[in-house]
Structure 1
Amino acid sequence: MAAQEAESPARRTRVVDDVDLRLLRALWMDGRARVRELARELAIADSAVSVRLRRLRERGVLAGVHAVFDPAVLGLTTQALVGVRLAPDISSPVFEGRLRTMRSVLGAVTLVGDYDLEVHLACRDMVDLERAVYELRDAGAQTTHTQLIARTVVGLGQALLTEEEPA
């Protein structure tokens, strides 16, 4: 029981201090920032930044730094969120494995509610979107509900890294 408690997200949150939060915030703004740049911004030694980054990775606080790209640059101008209810004979892990092989899938989340998953698709056009939704059905979706994305709101998530506790 104590080992499980030590690894819980609540326990990890307590081991992140103000400097770690500032470091995470700086990485959020520029995931490619070099250790020297981060050290200068935080007014601490390069070695201290390196130690903190290693510790944050080891504790699972910093799971990775990823590139964010605009799918439209690749000609994928039609995006949609598709609510998926799985067929009774398809498990979520099996369906998730199939999603990994689908070219149009940008991401997915599992849900508790009306749908089992929500899948983010990026397609060339409406014909390509229709093909992608059929591919979801072939993979085990019993029903789908498609919503076109008009615009993506950017710059969200930074408030998670503030020192203030939510009200």
Structure 2
Amino acid sequence: MAETFRHRIANDADIPALREVMRLAIEQLQHQFLSPVQVAASHKVMGLDSQLVRDGTYFVVEAGGRIAGCGGWSFRATLFGGDDSIVAREPARLDPLRDAAKIRAMYTDPAFVRRGVGALILDLCEAAARQAGFARVELMGTAAGVPLYRSCGYSPLGPLDQVAVGEVLVPLQRMIKSLV
């Protein structure tokens, strides 16, 4: 029997639970791709940008009363990074005729991996960005996320990026997809 997922737009009351899903995802899903020091450093690069919640562009996917995953899209220039990250954020609005919308802060609770949660969130984000007039979307993928993004039609945009957290380098891959 197929699992039933419901989705909705996140609200401020969700933020503590979303941060916990993100913590679990970073700590339990990145270790297959990164060293323990890189996983620890990832917390300073990744996370929730609460601007997405305020903008109404952040989705929550639920199953059985639990958050199975979350992720959003943005009409702002910031490509990645959360409220507590070392990454500078740029709140400027994008031009849908010229710029690519940003897919942001995609996380799946480790208890729900490989069940279609990530693909569902991508579909929701892409549809919303398309409806807002964007013809392309881009994202900064973690090592754990890149296989999903590739399978959903995203292509690398340039070489692998390395974000420095002190002496530790965290690998990330900028990726793009056409929505037309």
Q: Is the radius of gyration larger for structure 1 or structure 2?
A: 1
- Larger strand proportion, structure 1 or 2? 2
Same fold (TM over 0.5): no
TM-score by length of 2: 0.25
TM-score by length of 1: 0.27
- Larger helix proportion, structure 1 or 2? 1
